[in-house]
Structures are given as C-alpha cells and as structure tokens.
Chain A
C-alpha cells in the first residue's frame, strides 16, 4: 500500500475519534473543538524537540579528520620520495 494512503488512514482515524468525542461530549465541547490545534502544536513541539536533542547529541569525530590528514601526508611523502628517485622527475 502506498505510504500516503497509510498516512491518510491515520488522519481519518484521528478525525473519527475527534468527531465521536464531539458527538458523545465525554470531554467538554470547548476543549474538543480545539483538539486538532493541540495535536498540530504537539507534533510541532515534538519535531523541534527531536531536532534540538539530535543537535546536542550530534556525534562528531575530530580524531578521524586528523587520522585522515596523517594518511594523506604519509602518501604524499612516499610519492615525493618515489619521484625524487626517478631521474626523469628529479633531474
């Protein structure tokens, strides 16, 4: 099933619960009317929280960069030495 259909089904289910809450008045109507707004705001806050937490815990690896630089320097050194020994390059 296409993913968008799953999301639509979820939204329809939420809408169904909202309408049934409105009809049965289990919760006072003034609150029920605002339920979609609460849901959207909660989702937004959750998203921002995830971004913030992810940003704080973003894994970094500065040691990898220095290792890579060392390998690059070693290779350059070896190739310079190799070229220096070939008369065509060093002459």
Chain B
C-alpha cells in the first residue's frame, strides 16, 4: 500500500523584535501581534539589550501568558547594536521567514498579514514596508523632519538606484535564506544597517516587493533625529555608494 506523504506546506514565521527600554510598549505590541496573526504559525524572539527599566520582567510575564514556545527572550548584557541583535535572534529562530519590526509601536502589527500575503502572492524573497506611497504614511512628523526625510530619500535614490522607495524602514519580511545571506555581509550600525541590508539584497538580485505601511511616531518614549544622525546617514550613503 502506498501511503502518500503530505509535505509541510504551512510556513512558520519568526518575528524578531530588538528592544531597549520598551517596558511601556512591548505588552501592547505582543497583544497586537497575537491579535492579527491568529491563523499563522509564528514565534516572537525579543532581543533585549539589558534594559534598565525592567523590560525583561514584562517579557517574562508575557511568556507566562502566551507560552514560552511562542515568545522567546534572548537577553544580552548591554547595547550591542541592531545588526548583531538580528543575528543573535536569527541563531535561535525556527521559522521559514524572518520578520523584523520595532517595539515602539511605530510599526503597527496589523500590517503583518499584508506582508505575508504579498510574499505568498509574488513569491518574493523580501517584502519591505514603505511609508512613502499611497495607503502608507507617517504621523507626528514636523515639516523639518519631513524635509530631511524627503531630501535624504531623493539623495539616496539618485546615488544608489536602490529599487525600493523606503531605504531606512525596519519593518520587513525576509525569506530565511535571504536574511542569513544578507545579514552576514552587513557591517553598518543603526538605521544605516537597514539601508545596507536592502541595498545589498538588491545588488544580489533578490526579488523585493513593497507594501504600504503607516509609521506613527512613538506612543511612549522619545524619538531621535539630530545632526549626528544626518552625518551618519551621509557617511553611510557614501559607504554604500563605493562598496555595493
């Protein structure tokens, strides 16, 4: 008798969320993730860099509520950077796809199904959220910030021809193999890391799709954009111009 084997077609998603002092936001983020991904097989890996405000205590309580097989805490002793946080999360990930997002509620978990749907429809290796198209958008940005963002975007588009409209966004879905391949070749820090990820992925020929997302400035906590960030951005841009 021939017994046919059913291949596992249901995909698993790993959501990696780096945190630092997100005690007030993380509970809400996790609640919303579970609310919007009810029929999806997923796990959440929270990489916390030794938050002094007790974020890890909140995460442990969330593990009691949702199960420590659904929420994994990867604690690190201090701030060690975004790129290494993703890499650290990846080492313990069991999903076929890696989703990265912020913990400060600037990324709303309600867009997670649209990332998943876009990937399934197009077979893309990477789906990146963009704030700069219709149905996307921002809130809480003053004119100066919008001007800086738009100027930075035009400069990056002119110099790098990246093929995506939002380079610094950190709300993305990656196929696991693509993520492993690209993250190992990135050396930048902060949001320049996000730029480097997407530009390197584009250069390597990965199929990249975009979905509109909204970006609401922090519900709790403070957001950062000063002169030093602009200098870092320009340095990152020229680094990418000459090395990718």
Contact = CB atoms under 8 A, between A and B. Distances in A.
Interface of A: 2-4, 7, 43, 47, 50-51, 54-55, 58-62, 64-65, 68-69, 71-72, 75
28 contacts: A2-B242, A2-B243, A3-B160, A3-B161, A3-B203, A4-B241, A43-B158, A47-B155, A50-B154, A55-B147, A55-B150, A58-B137, A58-B146, A58-B150, A59-B132, A59-B136, A61-B136, A61-B139, A61-B216, A64-B108, A64-B214, A65-B140, A68-B105, A69-B219, A71-B32, A72-B219, A75-B27, A75-B28
B139 A64 contact: yes
Q: Is the interface of A mostly helix, strand, loop or mixed?
A: helix
A61 B217 CA distance: 11
Contacts, number: 76
Contacts of B32: 71
B139 A65 contact: yes
Given A51-B150, A54-B150, A60 B139 contact: yes
Contacts of B66: none
A55 B151 CA distance: 9
